[in-house]
Structure 1
Amino acid sequence: MIDIRRARETDAEVISELFHIAYGDSYFYPQYYDIQALKRMILSDDTLFLVAEDSETETVLGTASVVLEVGAHADLVAEFGRLVVHPKGRGQGIGSQLMQARIEFVQDRLHVGIVENRSAHEFSQRISHQHGFHPVGLLPNKFQLGDRESAALYVCHFGHALELRRNHPHLIPEVYPLAKLALENCQLNCDAIIEAEPRAYPHFHQFEVQEMESELYPVLLRFERGRIKQREIFGRMRLHYGLFQLRASHAQYLLAYRDGLMVGAIGFSIDEHERTGKIFELVSLDDSPIYFLVSELVRRCREEYSIDYLEADVSAFSPQMQQTFLENGFLPAAYIPAMIFHEVERLDVVRMVCLLTTWNGDSLQVFEPGKAIADLVDQSLRLRTALPKLMQAVNTAPLFAGLSEEQQQYVAASAELETLEEGHVLFRPDDPADKIRVIISGEVEIQNCHGKTVGTIGVHESLGDLASVSEPSHRVSARVKSEGQAMLFSRDALQQLVHTRPDIGMILFRNHACELADKLQRMNVHALFKQE
């Protein structure tokens, strides 16, 4: 028989031992090895610690906790985590019992519960899903456990949280697919409005930067109180928490000055053990220092702080801030509905991640309900590696002539990079016409149904476009004549692109018509030459 009870101060040593057994010395929160730190957390009102105990032997076989008030301004957000079961207790449903008990203890005290489940196995993901938590994101390489390990982010809403949710978030196109999946997973209709032509904050660089020292705290506090109009970045910490709390949490600020006057500040915390960072606040006199502060922090994380993972929770109602983070190397990794309490409503949040280490998603083990979101984040990360080559193709191929820089980035983000191996047949007659390629390098030979060559597709030209527009299947075959690379669009991806960005669709259709006319003329001349 297993009893679930609140942890007592005397349980600290047993809890620490459980983490040693489960993780060795590499658990990503070292305070769970520290007996005194554990005792303080057990006695704290901000942390709920539970243990699972064998009623006969009084042996502690598992533990789990809830960190309350992880949001600023009493956002009623709690993190469910630190679930550990002793090997002797596995297979007895202890993990599920601990999750159910945690919910019963704290559900009257919060609106939003979040869980960062390990992605190395499905155990914790299954437990979260069984107890009403829904997958809303994948946090890539967030944890340091030997090699870096990702987390599947799950969320559960309590009380009146969803009734207080503000409708119709405004999202940049890169965030929308993730938001749609997350909202649907939470049984919500996707009511997001896509910003067709998002603009980042302006690029200015004429600022001096200073790290905040103790004597600057009162100055920055007065500055912040007078400058916050509409918060766009959220986090547990705030400058109002006080200098002592900021120091205790390893929080720092970079201050931007122009002509000796403070014009902006970005607050962030660094975990040197985990090599991770989180942006929790950004305040400014006007729009001018915002882009600079984000860029400068990313540079320092990469070059000075040796950070592998940096995240920020961005308002789903601020496409300008979303675009600013995107242009500075961040990608949308999670979408959390109704996470932040602001004035009289709860706002959706986009968790954006800047990965400063190599991504390899091959070891992911994602529970079925979260696979679509995990695949989407994985695809975005892999695309980021291929993006320079794709951008080069967009810059030079006639099909994309006339696109603005922002439009080019959006098109490149909708494609995949494909390797073309010499002799490989890309499609044959009657194969589905569901892909369009733009050749980056190499050549592709087009043959009719009799095996005769009727044309060659070279660098910067498109392949499969005629069939995908006019017919469901191909009437010719395509074979790689010389190896190279291609920019690959699925028909669905192209249709989604045109649907969400009609401004891009108009340009593509115009260029497509011109290229088809040129291609057909060349093929007719080639056929005429063959007859002669």
Structure 2
Amino acid sequence: MTVTIDRATPADIAELRQLYYAVYGPHYPTALGTDPAEMSRLIADPHTLWLVARHSGSGGLAASAAVHGEAGSRVGRLEGLAVHPERRSGGLAHALTDELCRRTLDTGRLDSVYATVRTVSAGPQRVVSRNGFRPMGVLPNAVDLNSRESLALYARHSPGVLDRRLPVTEVPAPLGPLLRTVGASLGIDYGHVRRTAPKTVPARPTTAARLEMIEAPSFVRRRFHERFPDSERWFYPLHTPNALLASDDDSFEVYAYLNRTGRYCSLIAAAPDPAAAADYLEPITRTLTRAGAGYVEALVPLSEHGALSAFLAQGFIPSALYPAMRPESDGDGFHDYVVMSRTAEQIDFREVVVDAPLQPFLDAYAAAWASTYLPTLEVAS
């Protein structure tokens, strides 16, 4: 049976929800496949390209995928890739992904597109790999579906973007394994980057401010856009905060996206600046863990040695590297970013299935985790 690929329409929403239920069951953690109002918004969004594969005869949906973007950003996220269980042998995942990349990357509409890929089997990894995406790292315990799952970060860049990366002179030494792995995967030379000891993080004052957490999505969103009209100051693009953590002395605020279904959290921005909250990463993470986040992550520029050191000091692990993720605000170069992650739950890689190109990233994460959490033992002879 042949299919045609075209844009999703509002008339498809009911059938799209059935498709995502058939593929992921009742625990799919994103609104793209579950919330009719959000699905309608994304279909109409000029910064989102949502494609579906239809049976040529009946018009029924066989597969779906989207690249989601936002105003002011040239980064897209491949999401919602779903092929009906009865149509998985027809190459539809490859065809949809290829068409999305052709319309967004090959045309220069976006600089890069990333995807977080499940590791319950090698199939999803091979789909994105065949479409030019390359692995960037492993995100352990990143989402709760039927059970706690680890994800892999993949990305694909427009031609020439990786060649315009801005140089970085030094990074904290625990990032060494990740830089070597990404360099080998993408053919990038990080040999000139010095690996130095993490900077000492000042002790948090004994009279530390207490944290208050506000979960009022509309209020948080309005306040966030008032504080951050320019997306250059965000940690994480393509995430809208729905939670606010504020100190009771009004010294800082942290904006986060908390997904209670998937039980994960992304730190998006801090006011008046990230340094104001750096000394409080431990209580911030503890508060989010109590709120149900088994996994917390943040994006940090590779050039920010101090910020990376602060996250390392609080048990965050360099899980992935996104080269040339963001253009500089007043030039032609691109900044590299690091995904720093921390999980409150035991990591179990026994059920993880990784394709060969991803295996070195799993090894790099294990090395970074060991250097953070395992003590150095002295052996006396």
TM-score range, shorter chain: 0.7 to 0.9
- How far has the Cα of 1:221 moved from its partner? 8.4
- How far has the Cα of 1:315 moved from its partner? 0.9
- Alignment deviations for residues 253-302 of structure 1 (CA, whole Å, 9 cap, x no partner): 32363xxxx44332222112221111111344795x44322122012123
Distance in structure 2 (CA, Å) of the matches to 1:317 and 1:59: 49
Secondary structure at the residue paired with 1:25? helix
Secondary structure at the residue paired with 1:91? coil
Give yes or no for the alignment of 1:135 onto 2:135: yes
Give yes or no for the alignment of 1:279 onto 2:277: no
Give matches, 1:105-184, under 5 Å: 105-107=103-105, 108-184=108-184
**C-alpha contact 1:268 1:277 (8 A) present in aligned 2:** yes
Distance in structure 2 (CA, Å) of the matches to 1:57 and 1:235: 41
**C-alpha contact 1:176 1:194 (8 A) present in aligned 2:** no
The structure 1 residue matched to 2:295, chosen from 296, 303, 309, is 309
Q: CA 1:38 to 1:223, structure 2 compared with 1: closer, same or farther past 3 Å?
A: closer
**C-alpha contact 1:168 1:191 (8 A) present in aligned 2:** no
Distance in structure 2 (CA, Å) of the matches to 1:268 and 1:81: 20
Q: Which residue of 1 aligns with 2:319?
A: 333
Q: Which residue of 1 aligns with 2:30?
A: 29
**C-alpha contact 1:310 1:355 (8 A) present in aligned 2:** yes
Q: Which residue of 1 aligns with 2:343?
A: 355
Distance in structure 1 (CA, Å) of the matches to 2:15 and 2:91: 20
Give yes or no for the alignment of 1:367 onto 2:355: yes
Q: CA 1:237 to 1:149, structure 2 compared with 1: closer, same or farther past 3 Å?
A: closer
Give matches, 1:219-298, under 5 Å: 234-236=235-237, 249-255=241-247, 257=249, 262-284=250-272, 289-298=276-285
**C-alpha contact 1:139 1:152 (8 A) present in aligned 2:** yes
Distance in structure 2 (CA, Å) of the matches to 1:95 and 1:236: 25
- Alignment deviations for residues 424-477 of structure 1 (CA, whole Å, 9 cap, x no partner): xxxxxxxxxxxxxx3xxxxxxxxxxxxxxxxxxxxx33xxxxxxxxxxxxxxxx
**C-alpha contact 2:177 2:368 (8 A) present in aligned 1:** no
Q: Which residue of 2 aligns with 1:203?
A: 203
Q: Which residue of 1 aligns with 2:12?
A: 11
- How far has the Cα of 1:375 moved from its partner? 2.2
Q: CA 1:16 to 1:195, structure 2 compared with 1: closer, same or farther past 3 Å?
A: same
Q: CA 1:186 to 1:377, structure 2 compared with 1: closer, same or farther past 3 Å?
A: same
TM-score (norm 2): 0.88
In the alignment, residue 251 of structure 1 is paired with which amino acid?
A: A
- Alignment deviations for residues 185-223 of structure 1 (CA, whole Å, 9 cap, x no partner): 122222552242321432232332354779999999898
In the alignment, residue 278 of structure 2 is paired with which amino acid?
A: Y
Secondary structure at the residue paired with 1:365? coil
Q: CA 1:141 to 1:223, structure 2 compared with 1: closer, same or farther past 3 Å?
A: closer
Secondary structure at the residue paired with 2:174? coil
In the alignment, residue 294 of structure 1 is paired with which amino acid?
A: L
Secondary structure at the residue paired with 2:26? coil
**C-alpha contact 1:264 1:282 (8 A) present in aligned 2:** yes
- How far has the Cα of 1:27 moved from its partner? 1.1
Distance in structure 2 (CA, Å) of the matches to 1:189 and 1:382: 25
- How far has the Cα of 1:82 moved from its partner? 1.1
- How far has the Cα of 1:342 moved from its partner? 2.6
In the alignment, residue 293 of structure 1 is paired with which amino acid?
A: Y
TM-score (norm 1): 0.64
Secondary structure at the residue paired with 1:234? coil
**C-alpha contact 2:77 2:115 (8 A) present in aligned 1:** yes
Percent of matched pairs sharing the same residue: 22
- Alignment deviations for residues 310-332 of structure 1 (CA, whole Å, 9 cap, x no partner): 00001100111111101101001
In the alignment, residue 51 of structure 1 is paired with which amino acid?
A: V
Q: CA 1:220 to 1:273, structure 2 compared with 1: closer, same or farther past 3 Å?
A: closer
Higher relative contact order (CA 8 A, sep 6+): 2
Distance in structure 2 (CA, Å) of the matches to 1:279 and 1:165: 24
Secondary structure at the residue paired with 1:326? helix
Distance in structure 2 (CA, Å) of the matches to 1:182 and 1:94: 29
**C-alpha contact 1:135 1:369 (8 A) present in aligned 2:** yes
Distance in structure 1 (CA, Å) of the matches to 2:5 and 2:243: 36
Distance in structure 1 (CA, Å) of the matches to 2:370 and 2:194: 24
Larger Rg: 1
In the alignment, residue 284 of structure 2 is paired with which amino acid?
A: L
How large is the Cα RMSD of the aligned pairs? 2.9
Give matches, 1:46-125, under 5 Å: 46-69=47-70, 74-107=72-105, 108-125=108-125
In the alignment, residue 34 of structure 1 is paired with which amino acid?
A: D
Structure 2 residue runs without a partner (length 5+): none
Q: CA 1:323 to 1:154, structure 2 compared with 1: closer, same or farther past 3 Å?
A: same
Distance in structure 1 (CA, Å) of the matches to 2:274 and 2:154: 36
Distance in structure 1 (CA, Å) of the matches to 2:259 and 2:223: 26
Q: CA 1:285 to 1:173, structure 2 compared with 1: closer, same or farther past 3 Å?
A: closer
**C-alpha contact 2:32 2:80 (8 A) present in aligned 1:** no
Q: Which residue of 1 aligns with 2:286?
A: 299
- How far has the Cα of 1:379 moved from its partner? 4.2
- How far has the Cα of 1:337 moved from its partner? 0.2
Distance in structure 2 (CA, Å) of the matches to 1:25 and 1:360: 24
Distance in structure 1 (CA, Å) of the matches to 2:93 and 2:236: 29
Q: CA 1:286 to 1:42, structure 2 compared with 1: closer, same or farther past 3 Å?
A: closer
Q: CA 1:265 to 1:342, structure 2 compared with 1: closer, same or farther past 3 Å?
A: farther
Distance in structure 1 (CA, Å) of the matches to 2:223 and 2:148: 39
Q: CA 1:298 to 1:216, structure 2 compared with 1: closer, same or farther past 3 Å?
A: closer
Secondary structure at the residue paired with 2:124? helix
Secondary structure at the residue paired with 2:96? helix
- How far has the Cα of 1:333 moved from its partner? 0.4
